[in-house]
Structure 1
Amino acid sequence: MPEFPDIILFAIPFFIISMMLELYVTTKENIQTYEKKDAFSSIAMGIGNVVLGFLSKALVLLAFMFIYTNFRVFTIPFAWWSLMLLFLADDFSYYWFHRISHECRLFWASHIVHHSSQKYNLSTALRQTWSGGFYSFVFWLWLPLIGFHPGMILLQMAISLLYQFWIHTEAIDKMPKWFEAVFNTPSHHRVHHGSNPLYLDRNHAGILIIWDKLFGTFQAELKAEKVIYGLTSNINTYNPLKIAFHEWISMSKDSFTGKKSFKNRLKYLLKPPGWKHDGTGKLSDDLRKEWREKGDRSQAQCSVGSKKADRLQKHSQY
């Protein structure tokens, strides 16, 4: 098995050049996508992720090697066909990791970092968690179990992360239709970063958008519904420490303080963001339902107003 380099570290100059190019293009096109403090916060989160990554990747490699050495069912060789299988298996794992990160508050506590910016640009891609790397790898444990070498898995995980860098931009509207149908694109991922009720918890894809279409979480970007970036309740801070840990603090308060049953304390960790034990919380599906009902009422009122206008016009003709 060959040794694989950490391609994310080698890609850092590419990240910097790409952000400078995007800033030039968006400024020329008068697209106000960058804000200095926000961009520096995202870059700071990215640097922290890389530094802590030396520890978290060691833990991940140790866990993968332990399973691969002691419990693997097969031994999958390093070959072109195994890399293709791994590509699909890794992307499938990423979809479910990403989806659960929106549907379970314990995982959302780390993933919320990536959604905390109210801007959307290539620097947003660098706004990565400082804590998720220490436990999110559980979604990939089945890969060394069936026989993929840990080195291959880590390489493919890095490739997936690298691919997702370029889709964090408003400088690209739409890719060709065939590409939009199969792959994750800037348009699809803008939806994912939207706080609009219609867009909440949609398009969890890593590289292939087909998983969202297959499992019912796909939503196309609509011209009539401009994406509003950020959270449903924005944290409004540029402090990296607050960005990294504010949800951990909030979740801990909800779970471990006040008079609650043990079952409800556990639910604050396992239920989706927005859940409350007294029934007052609103989940993304609740917000989406309210938004649609509001739209239906507005359409009904417009329809009634139109009918009244028609009657008045007919009356004025007599």
Structure 2
Amino acid sequence: MPNFSPVDYAVPGFVLLVLIEMIWARKMRREAYEPKDTLTSLAFGLGSTVSGLLFGGAVVALFLWLWQFRLFDVPWTWWAWALCFVLDDLAYYWIHRFGHRMRWFWASHVNHHSSQHYNLSTALRQTWTGFLTLGFAFKLPLVLAGFHPVMVAICGGFNLIYQFWIHTEAIGKMPRWFEAVMNTPSHHRVHHATNPRYLDRNYAGVFIVWDRLFGTFEEERPDEERIRYGIVRQLGTFNLFYSVFHEWIGIAQDMWRAPWKHKLSYLLREPGWTHDGSRETSDMIRARWVARKSVASENPIAEPREAA
């Protein structure tokens, strides 16, 4: 089965832009890159490409088979491509949102957030195990509606290509009209932050309007606090295979130790949930932060330190 994703053809451009950003970082922000972290990101990207070659064809084949059950015949016209791109981005929003709100999906998606640095190489930290989560099912409605699977695959590829450039600190705010509609480096920095106010916000791929519409948008506030990147419980290692599989290992350990009535909850509930309250979810972390800020606003002299 041929590979219909344009992402593979964009890889040389990705590498060139990473090199350009490295030159910028040496002069403007040396801490933006860390050699071991960058090598890990590149290895993630290579492994993800191999995984895509192994399993991507099977997904396209499944979509081609399901296409015979389509409701309509969507033509290969410019408006169909535009509509497919927008609807594919909406599907991506929900895939991405589930990737943060259900641990089964998070076990795959956490790979992308595991770096404590934010640069273009971070964009290459793509999952090796995405096929396990069956997240591609979110795009089945497009195929059943009549969009050809090849059209859906190509639109999804261009969606990922767009997202590459927003993984940078070299670009500040874009023009206001652009920030209002499109995903930008500023919006996506928020998404990669571990600061309580930013957790699980800005899931957009291309169009930030989905976050504004569904109540998950958060503005970047660089004047109030500096963004801290990574995950709430940082890996503390550059070991590639641990970085790839650590959350799957954690799920297995939690399910093994948990009482029977709670085992499935460690798969289906949000990351950080525990039956005994020994860890915190992003909602709990944010609620604690809001409460601390509320106390601080009433008593500015005793303003607490920001929660981690």
Task: Identify the TM-score tier after normalising by the shorter chain.
Answer: over 0.9
Check whether the contact 2:103–2:270 (CA below 8 A) recurs between aligned residues.
Answer: yes
The 5 Å alignment of 1:183-222 reads 183-222=182-221
Match of 2:110 in 1: 112
Provide the C-alpha distance between the structure 1 equivalents of 2:17 and 2:257, rounded to a whole number of angstroms.
Answer: 48
Q: Is the 8 A contact 2:119 2:168 kept in 1?
A: yes
CA distance in 2, matches of 1:9, 1:95: 22
Contact 2:3 2:53 in 1 (8 A): no
Structure 2 counterpart of 1:182: 181
Deviations 1:117-161 (A, max 9, x none): 000000000001000144221111111111110100000010000
Alignment check: 8 A CA contact 1:122 1:169 kept: yes
What is the TM-score with the length of structure 1 in the denominator? 0.91
Give CA-to-partner distance per residue, 1:233-275, whole Å, 9 cap, x none.
10111111111100000011111x12512x4111110000011
Higher Rg? 1
Contact 1:181 1:209 in 2 (8 A): yes
Q: Percent identity?
A: 47
Aligned-residue CA RMSD in angstroms? Answer: 1.6
Unaligned runs of 5+ in 2: 304-308
Aligned length: 300
1:95-115 deviation line (CA, Å, top 9, x unaligned): 000000000000000000000
For structure 1, the residue ranges without an aligned partner over 5 or more in a row are 306-318
Distance in 1, matches of 2:37 and 2:280, equals 28
Contact kept? 1:4, 1:151, Cα under 8 Å: no
**CA drift at 1:77:** 1.1
Does structure 1 retain, via aligned residues, the 8 Å contact 2:4–2:153?
A: no
User: 1:32 deviation in Å?
Assistant: 2.0
User: Is 1:252 aligned to residue 246 of structure 2?
Assistant: no
Pair 1:56-2:42 in alignment: no
1:148 corresponds in structure 2 to 147
1:23 partner letter:
M
Corresponding letter in the other structure for 1:276 = T
SS state at 1:168 partner: coil
Deviates more, 1:284-293 or 1:158-167: 284-293
Shift of 1:278: 2.1
Q: How does 1:7-22 map to 2 (within 5 A)?
A: 7-22=6-21
Q: Distance in 1 between matches of 2:182 and 2:300?
A: 39
Which of 117, 120, 123 is 1:122 aligned to?
Answer: 120
Is 2:4–2:150's contact at 8 Å kept on the other side of the alignment? no
Pairs within 5 Å for 1:19-98: 19-69=18-68, 71-98=69-96
Instruction: Find the counterpart in structure 2 of residue 270 from structure 1.
Output: 268
Which is worse superposed, 219-228 or 109-118?
Answer: 219-228
TM-score by length of 2: 0.94
CA distance in 1, matches of 2:198, 2:30: 22
- 1:282 maps to 280
- Provide closer, same or farther for how the CA distance between residues 179 and 258 of structure 1 changes in structure 2, counting only shifts above 3 A: same
